[in-house]
Structure 1
Amino acid sequence: MSRRVRVRLLDTRPLRSGRSFRALWIGTSVSQLGGQMAGVAVLAQVWDLTGSPVATGAIGLATGLPLVLFGLLGGVLADTVDRRAVVRATTVGQLLAATGLCAQALAGNRSVVLLLALVAVGASCGALGAPARRAFPVRLLPADQVAAGLALTNVSFQVAMLAGPALAGLVIARWDVAAAYAAQALAMAVAALAVRRLPVTRPEGADVAGGRPRAKRGGWRVVLRRPPLWGALATDLSATLLAMPVALFPLVNEARFGGDPRTLGLFLSAVAVGGIAAGLLSGTVTRWRRAGLVQLSAAGLWGLALACFGLAGPLWLALGCLAVAGAADTVSVVTRGALIQRETPDAYRGRVSSVEHVIGVAGPELGNFRGGLVASVSSAPCSLVIGGVSAALAVAAVSLANAPLRAYRTPPAAERQAAPEPGAAASAGAVN
């Protein structure tokens, strides 16, 4: 294979850089697989109990609200204490929540409130640890491998999206939702063992008051003071809040494809197929320097693809639209993540990562709730089309309002190993 071909494929150098990143990647990948299986089980259980798109949309509300609250709190923790300790403790919390989900299913629980409460507990633990987890790659990897490390993490997420829902559909059809929850609990146990290998990682530049560490002031203002940062986050929020389709999958599946749980799994897996295809070619994406323009274009394509999914009739066309959306999402996530990690000083990286996590995870969950509400007063296709077109228009508005993001170029590794402190000459945004 020629070098020109190799550089366009998935860059695996971060997995060879040391065992610490490998441990982080393994723990994250396994937990994502279990989470995807549990997500389908929760969706199926809520639909079985209620048959209501509003109730399935409420899953997003039960997940999204804890993500906002605990995600921001996790950002402060990640900029104050040892990030390894935060990741370890929250992973154990997710394990306990997964065990609770399995127990309620085995007990024949019929209370949607109890089910959503357990979902909220797991989401809270995940949100609390996510900023610390997101801040690790830039400390564990050489500067020129950060984007490749984020691409590997995204590919593992897409593989989880492909395998997890499909496995969950088979497991639920063969046994029941309790088996899918048990698989998540096993996955979280493996993840808890993997993250024990992470090194002690305290934030650089944290203030010390009375002998105790304290997060450096001004962390939240970093986002507003750097146009590429707030533009990248606003782009993601526009795409996810307005165009998330997952809560509508059961309704679309029942109306068009007979309600087969295997088809429900295929919807989620189709998104992952496109994501994996884009991820396997991420060597090209991670080497593109016009990161802002790439993210804007990919986010707009995501919205248009989901609008087309709402209009698609045959199953093959619906799955194809979802695959295009998944590919666009992967490109957007990788470019956004690398931009944000590079442009944020380490002393503020936990809090900025928490904002990214809240938008990247709570945004889709709240978007699912929005989609369910719109579908309840119209239809699933109408909700998908309105949401997808609105997302594309909102991304276009961000592009017009934020010239630094459109013009943003990723600086070569030789030029910058870490972003300057806020207030330096580049504080208005690194635009080359």
Structure 2
Amino acid sequence: MPGLQTLLRRVAIDLTPLRRPHYRRLWAGQGLSFIGFQLTTVAVNLQVFDITGSSLWVGMLGLANLVPLIVFGLWGGAVADVMDRRRLLVTGAVITWIATLVVLLQAWVRLGNVYVILAAIAVQSMGFAITSATRGAIIPRIVPIEKVPAANTLNFLVSSLGSVLGPLLAGVVLARGGYTLAYLIDAVLFSASFYAAVRLPHLPPLGEASRRAGLGLVAEGLRYIATSPVVLMSFVVDLIAMVFAMPRALYPELTEVRFGDSPHAYAWLSAAIAIGAVAGGLFTGWVGRVRRQGLALTFTIAVWGLTVAAAGLVSELWLVVTLLAVGGVADLISATWRQSILQLHAPDEMRGRLQGVFMVVVAGGPRLGDLRAGASASLVGLTPAWVSGGLICAVLVVVTGLAVRSFREYVPETLRRSSPSASPDRPDAS
């Protein structure tokens, strides 16, 4: 059936970036290590809830993550613009690995101290901030510029796959081996990411090698964002999505209240959003061809908020998981567009700083969402906190996204070039 084959080629995910050995290793290492990272995330949330019996303390894990993410995400992005990005990626990986070993040790000796866990997670967040900002700035250096959206989709897809396998693995590991085994598996899997970083070529800065990283470079990056409405709005809509609609901190309480405190139910809840992202990601060949990406991004995030709100109203596990999975499809698509906007909207010497801010927003937003959800549930109860967040997200993102003309009319430069009537509004960033 030639027609069906043509359709599948147009919508199937683009795998051509995997032909590049450096990218392929980085992608595979990220995928394996992210399984362990998600395994630890699920285990830590449950361990803190076991120790304290409070969703607010689970939400405090978000705060422990947030401060290092902001500080070291911005700093790491600035450093990535003035030093060898391979060296910085290896340094961040070592920091992350050490923090994982501390989490493993506290579980092994049965310390049961929530403050030690929070401190270790804060250090782990520091390493994560550095590596994430640096990895995002590396991608346009190791794949052709026209393949950056496809590479971003593959990155988000493998991360989503880890977000499925990690929580599902956690359901088995926590039921049979406990927290120590979960953290041990994370430490072992992280070696793949470290190996990929070591095997990268040297990636010295192209434009600002003589400058030192510091507040000046960070301020330059923030000024660039502030004067670029499209870039700024890509951050704003993501913050709306994560701060108001992310329900992750409520999973332990929902499991206890509705599903009999079942580890397997908790695992399925933790994996649900990523399940949708993986399923939807296999058919994202069309994403890079959407022209009005700002407008599409706005309504995609509104879909995310509405599906999250609906999930908070149902009591059957399969239906909660299904609705969250639909939200996961929307989340993957929106993440691909937002990342591509940043990587293709700025010159290479600015990419590290923009990726640092992107990482702060992408990783910090859900942590703020954890804190909001946990605090709201403590004040108004589980269901009102969950549902109201999703509804507020949907309404606020539509109002905000449609209010900025340059954002709602944004078309990527790679697509504008194909239109003879279009004229670029910025220099070529390739």
Q: Give the alignment's TM-score, normalised by structure 2.
A: 0.93
Structure 2 distance, partners of 1:225, 1:133, is 25
Per the TM alignment, residue 220 of structure 1 is displaced from its structure 2 partner at its CA by: 1.9
Structure 2 distance, partners of 1:309, 1:279, is 21
| Counterpart residue number, 1:426 | 425
Structure 2 distance, partners of 1:378, 1:70, is 34
| Counterpart residue number, 2:89 | 87
Per the TM alignment, residue 286 of structure 1 is displaced from its structure 2 partner at its CA by: 2.1
Amino acid at match of 1:279: G
Asked if the contact 1:166–1:266 (Cα under 8 Å) also holds between the matched residues in 2, the reply is yes
1:283 pairs, out of 282, 285, 296, with: 285
Distance 1:103 1:65, change over 3 A: same
Amino acid at match of 1:304: L
Structure 1 distance, partners of 2:260, 2:106, is 28
| Counterpart residue number, 1:319 | 321
| Counterpart residue number, 1:108 | 110
Asked if the contact 2:76–2:356 (Cα under 8 Å) also holds between the matched residues in 1, the reply is yes
| 3-state SS of 2:210 partner | strand
Asked if the contact 1:227–1:428 (Cα under 8 Å) also holds between the matched residues in 2, the reply is no
RMSD: 2.1
Per the TM alignment, residue 128 of structure 1 is displaced from its structure 2 partner at its CA by: 1.8
Aligned pair 1:12/2:15, yes or no? yes
Asked if the contact 1:143–1:413 (Cα under 8 Å) also holds between the matched residues in 2, the reply is no
| Counterpart residue number, 2:340 | 338
Q: Which runs of 5+ in 1 are unaligned?
A: 417-424
Structure 2 distance, partners of 1:396, 1:131, is 28
Per the TM alignment, residue 123 of structure 1 is displaced from its structure 2 partner at its CA by: 0.6
Per the TM alignment, residue 411 of structure 1 is displaced from its structure 2 partner at its CA by: 2.2
Q: Which runs of 5+ in 2 are unaligned?
A: 419-423
1:3-152 pair list within 5 angstroms: 3-16=6-19, 18-152=20-154
Structure 2 distance, partners of 1:3, 1:325, is 28
| 3-state SS of 1:336 partner | helix
Asked if the contact 1:226–1:427 (Cα under 8 Å) also holds between the matched residues in 2, the reply is no
Asked if the contact 2:75–2:218 (Cα under 8 Å) also holds between the matched residues in 1, the reply is no
Amino acid at match of 1:426: D
Amino acid at match of 1:396: V
Q: For residues 82-125 of structure 1, what are the alpha-carbon distances to aligned partners after superposition, in whole Å with 9 as ceiling and x for unaligned?
A: 11111011111111111111111000011100011111110111
Compare 198-207 and 367-376 and name the one that shifted more.
198-207
Q: For residues 40-91 of structure 1, what are the alpha-carbon distances to aligned partners after superposition, in whole Å with 9 as ceiling and x for unaligned?
A: 1101110110110111111111111211111111111111111111101111
Structure 2 distance, partners of 1:151, 1:5, is 17
Amino acid at match of 1:126: F
Per the TM alignment, residue 428 of structure 1 is displaced from its structure 2 partner at its CA by: 11
Q: Give the alignment's TM-score, normalised by structure 1.
A: 0.93
Aligned pair 1:189/2:188, yes or no? no
Per the TM alignment, residue 379 of structure 1 is displaced from its structure 2 partner at its CA by: 1.1
Structure 2 distance, partners of 1:289, 1:189, is 39
Per the TM alignment, residue 352 of structure 1 is displaced from its structure 2 partner at its CA by: 0.9
Compare 123-132 and 405-414 and name the one that shifted more.
405-414
Percent same amino acid among aligned pairs?
34
Asked if the contact 1:216–1:347 (Cα under 8 Å) also holds between the matched residues in 2, the reply is no
Distance 1:202 1:215, change over 3 A: farther
| Counterpart residue number, 1:358 | 360
Q: Which runs of 4+ in 1 moved over 3 A?
A: 214-217, 413-416, 427-430
Amino acid at match of 1:146: V
| 3-state SS of 1:313 partner | coil
| 3-state SS of 2:261 partner | coil
Structure 2 distance, partners of 1:91, 1:180, is 19
Amino acid at match of 2:425: A
Q: For residues 127-162 of structure 1, what are the alpha-carbon distances to aligned partners after superposition, in whole Å with 9 as ceiling and x for unaligned?
A: 022211111111111122100000000110111011
Q: For residues 390-414 of structure 1, what are the alpha-carbon distances to aligned partners after superposition, in whole Å with 9 as ceiling and x for unaligned?
A: 1112211221321111111122279
Per the TM alignment, residue 427 of structure 1 is displaced from its structure 2 partner at its CA by: 5.3
Q: For residues 218-272 of structure 1, what are the alpha-carbon distances to aligned partners after superposition, in whole Å with 9 as ceiling and x for unaligned?
A: 2221111111100111000111111110100011111101010111010122111
Asked if the contact 1:38–1:181 (Cα under 8 Å) also holds between the matched residues in 2, the reply is yes
Amino acid at match of 1:59: L
